Every structure is written in structure tokens, then in C-alpha cells.
Amino acid sequence: MPPLYNRAMATHRPQFFDPATEQGVLRLSIAASLLLAAAAVVFGLLANSSLIIFDGIYGLIDVVMTWLSLLVARLIALSTQTDALQSRLNQRFTMGFWHLEPIVLGVSGTLMIGAALYALVNAVDALMSGGRHIALGPAIAFAGLSIVGEGALAWFILRANRRIGSEFIALDAKNWVIAASMSACYLLAFLGGVLVQGTSWAWVGPYIDPAILAFVCVLVMIAPLGTVRRALAGILLVTPPELQAHVDAVARAIVAKHGFVEHRSYVAQVGRGEQIELFFVVPENDPPRPLVEWDQLRDEIGDALGEASPDRWLTIMFTTDREWTI
């Protein structure tokens, strides 16, 4: 499947916040994150709430990582274009930019976990020190505004990603869902603080902010674990079992059909890129074939593996010497 950004460029200059492209959606997410993070810091200081301040810091980290995701998506798209810039990029990065995608995803998830762990330690310290008094008015106002804004953005980004199918956007949408859920927890907790004022439960008030912060931090630490695991698999070139099975099935069929001795395959999934290397051992007494016939066989194998894509790196070799397959 060709890069979505290229399709837009073929007819007109795409909009800066084009919801039909990966880069447009990520730009929109960056702008919204900056606004909400700034609002969180302001409201957090007004309310003396470490919970809301953490929300702002979480948002700023998300802005930085989303910007990096946008940069990588742009590089991947540019590396598959047929122009002078693409030529210069390929001269410097002959293996493409797919390897950057799992690196960015892994760093993003790790930073989120690290920030949440630090905030969790502070929350536990506040709980052990008698809690923290906060101004509930600004806190409730911020929580309500955040639920509306973050929920709307999560819905919009998830809807846009149905057409785009980007791992970067999927992670970003997950972060917005987490943010909206966190804001809902904030609102319930702050409303609870209002209800206990002037009652025998008033002593609970100072503990609301650090207690909810600790709860939210645990959720934030759990959510990116799957993304970090997949990113590490991509960085370490772990072979996906399903892709390996498909490649081997196609190769075995080719071996049986053309009377080859055996095959050997090397498969990895690096971000959105599939890297496939296939070696076929041909009998030494096999009659010579024209090069065009070998190319036709490569086309047959490529078609059997699936539709060609700029994100598939496919190498097919034929040899009579098994040592070349190792």
C-alpha cells in the first residue's frame, strides 16, 4: 500500500491538519496536547493539585513523543517517494527508516512509565505526610473541560485511524483514552471532596488528590506495556510466528512445484516494515534458465506472499550451494 501522504500530494497540497493522513492527525494531536498541557499546569497551580500538574507533565511528554512520531512518519513517507529528496535520503539511509518506528514507540512508552513511577512515589509520600489541601473549584472546572476535550479527540483520532491503520496513531489514541479516563477519575474525586466538606468525613479531603494520583499512576504504568513489548520485539528483530508460517508455506509450495532441494527463510517485522529474505537451493544438475525466467519466478513468489508494498523488503535468491543460505 503506497504512503497515504503521497496520494494527497499527487493532486493538491494537503491541509496541515488533514484527518486523512497520518501526519495531519498527529499534527492535530500535538496542537491539542499543547493546549491541554498548558491548561493543566495553570489550573494545577491555581488548585495546588499535584494530580493536575502531573496531568500537564504527562501531556507535555506526549507532545514530544507525538512530534517524534510525526517526524518518523514523514521520513518513512519521503523515503518511498521518487524525487530528488528521496534519492538523497536513500544514499544516506539505504536500509530505510522502518527501524525508527519501534524505537520511538519504545522510548515513548518507557518515558510514560518512568514519569508515572516518579509521580507514584510522590503521591505515596504525600499520603504518608497527611495529604494535601487543594482548591476544589478550579480543580473541578479543569476536570470537566478535560473530559470533553480529551474524549472528543480520542473519538476523532480512533475514527480517522480506521482508514489509516497507523501504529503511531493507535498509540496516540490510546493515550487520549487514558487521559479522558484520568480526567473522569479526577472529576469524581474532586466532587467527592466537595461532598465531604463540613461532615465527619472532612478528614478525607486532603488525601483525595494524592490517592487518586497514585491510582492514576498505576493505570498509566500498565497501559503502555503492550506497546513497549511490541517495540522491543521490533528492535530485537523477533520473528512474528504468523508471518514466518506464511512465508514458509509459500516457499514449500515453490520448492515442490519447481523441484528445488529446499529453502531457508529469514523474517522480521520492524515497525510497519516487513523484512523477508528467501533462499532456494536449486539442484546442481538443474538445466540453465534465462534470467528473465528467474525474474518471473521471483514475481510469482512475491505475488504468493501478498500484495507488493513500499513497506515490504523482499529478497529472493537461488543457489546450488547451501552455504549461501546460512
Q: In the block, which residue shows the cell 510497519?
A: 272
Count other Cβ atoms within 10 Å, centred on residue 47.
23
- CA separation for the pair 57, 134 (Å, rounded): 18
- CA separation for the pair 63, 54 (Å, rounded): 14
Judge whether 4-235 and 241-325 match in fold. no
Where are the domains positioned within the chain?
4-235, 241-325
User: 268 by DSSP, 3-state: which?
Assistant: strand
- CA separation for the pair 104, 272 (Å, rounded): 13
Count other Cβ atoms within 10 Å, centred on residue 246.
16
Cα R_g (the chain), whole angstroms: 26
- pLDDT digits 0-9 by tens, 17-43: 777 788 788 888 888 888 988 888 888
Residue 5 pLDDT grade (very low, low, confident, very high; cuts 50, 70, 90)? very low
The CATH H-level (homologous superfamily) assignment of domain 4-235 is Cation efflux protein transmembrane domain (1.20.1510.10)
- CA separation for the pair 293, 282 (Å, rounded): 14
Question: How high is the pLDDT of residue 130?
Answer: 86
- pLDDT digits 0-9 by tens, 56-87: 888 888 788 778 877 877 777 776 665 555 56
User: What is the CATH number that goes with domain 241-325?
Assistant: 3.30.70.1350
Of the CA atoms within 13 Å of residue 60, those in its CB half-sphere come to 12
Beta bridge partners of 280: 263, 318
pTM of the model: 0.65
